[in-house]
């Protein structure tokens, strides 16, 4: 087993859902098979305009022949293992590539050294249990910290499956994607200590197989979060906010929905709610408007 890199580009010819599976051609099969049971990091191509670099980590559960296209395969992601980076990790930090032990920098599927994996994890995942205060600069380079493990020990990988650690990383990624603003009300409330009021909500909960993905998350105020979790409000595939017909105070709910009547979604399309998670939420709550 070994760590690895999966190159991903939204809108490419490959049928990727990074939280669920990664599609690749046959020439990469033997290389990808070595990563089964281990962790990979997702990376956008360097030449992509406004590339976000390394953007997530996930664990490869198994590899199967692609059910739709011959000579292609799918690396299935272990449920519950996907975790987005916030901040995303640029290709180059302080003039040096973050991925340094490169055998083939252009390969879409390639091995990743222990030290490179440790460096990327240290840069991409939070190291404390608090959210940044409004206006705080992001710590883009923690590599120089003497505490950063360049040669990663396997016990450190256990943090990637630790629920409190994952909750902090998910909350951080979602609130940054939405700029701390509730997607339903439009409120961006900050308390006297500079803390954001909005919460990070899973669209499909973890206990029901939902991933810790920004595309499976919404930034919601406390009341909107409560209503969403109970199916009193749902969201259509085109982001219309819908109110359940059984709501007893429809006028009150309508009053807190932002004037557009639609989700205030992230600017980046790759961060916006995925239709499959929105559909699951509607189906689970047997939603009727």
As a whole number of angstroms, the distance between CA 254 and CA 233 comes to: 10
**Bridge partners of 77?**
60
pLDDT at position 193 over 50: yes
Beta-carbon contacts of 130 under 8 Å, excluding residues fewer than 6 positions away, are none
> Could you tell me if 85 and 94 are in contact, meaning their C-beta atoms sit under 8 angstroms apart?
no
138-157 CB burial, b ≥16 within 10 A, e <16:
eeeeebeeeeeeeebeeeeb
pLDDT at position 187 over 60: yes
Domain boundaries, the chain: 1-161, 162-289
CB neighbours of residue 89 within 10 Å? 25
Nearest to 143 by CA among 121, 159, 158: 121
pLDDT digits (tens, 9 = 90+) for 19-61: 999 999 999 999 999 999 999 999 998 877 777 899 999 999 9
CATH class name, domain 1-161: alpha beta
pLDDT digits (tens, 9 = 90+) for 120-179: 998 998 665 444 333 444 333 334 443 444 344 455 577 788 888 899 999 999 999 999
As a whole number of angstroms, the distance between CA 96 and CA 218 comes to: 35
**Bridge partners of 234?**
242
């Amino acid at each position: 087993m070994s760590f690895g890199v999966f190159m991903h580009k939204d809108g490419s010819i490959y049928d990727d859902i990074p939280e669920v599976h990664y599609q690749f051609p046959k020439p990469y099969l033997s290389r990808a098979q070595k990563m089964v049971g281990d962790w990979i990091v997702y990376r956008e191509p360097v030449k992509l305009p406004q590339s976000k670099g390394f953007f997530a980590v996930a664990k490869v559960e198994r590899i199967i022949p692609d059910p739709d296209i011959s000579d292609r395969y799918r690396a299935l992601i272990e449920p519950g293992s996907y975790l987005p980076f916030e901040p995303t990790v640029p290709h180059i930090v302080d003039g040096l590539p973050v991925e340094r032990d490169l055998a083939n920098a252009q390969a879409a599927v390639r091995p990743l050294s222990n030290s490179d994996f440790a460096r990327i994890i240290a840069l991409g995942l939070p190291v404390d249990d608090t959210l940044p205060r409004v206006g705080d600069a992001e710590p883009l380079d923690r590599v120089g910290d003497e505490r950063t493990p360049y040669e990663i020990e396997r016990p450190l990988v256990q943090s990637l499956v630790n629920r409190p650690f994952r909750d902090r990383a998910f909350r951080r990624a979602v609130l940054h994607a939405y700029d701390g603003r509730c997607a339903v009300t439009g409120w961006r409330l900050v308390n006297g200590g500079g803390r954001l009021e909005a919460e990070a909500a899973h669209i499909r909960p973890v206990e029901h197989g939902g991933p810790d993905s920004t595309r499976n998350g919404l930034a919601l105020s406390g009341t909107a979060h409560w209503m969403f979790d109970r199916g009193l409000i749902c969201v259509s595939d085109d982001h219309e906010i819908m109110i359940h017909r059984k709501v007893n105070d429809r006028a009150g709910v309508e009053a807190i929905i932002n004037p557009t009547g639609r989700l205030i979604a992230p600017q980046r399309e790759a961060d916006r709610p995925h239709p499959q998670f929105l559909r699951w939420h509607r189906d689970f709550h047997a939603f009727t408007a």
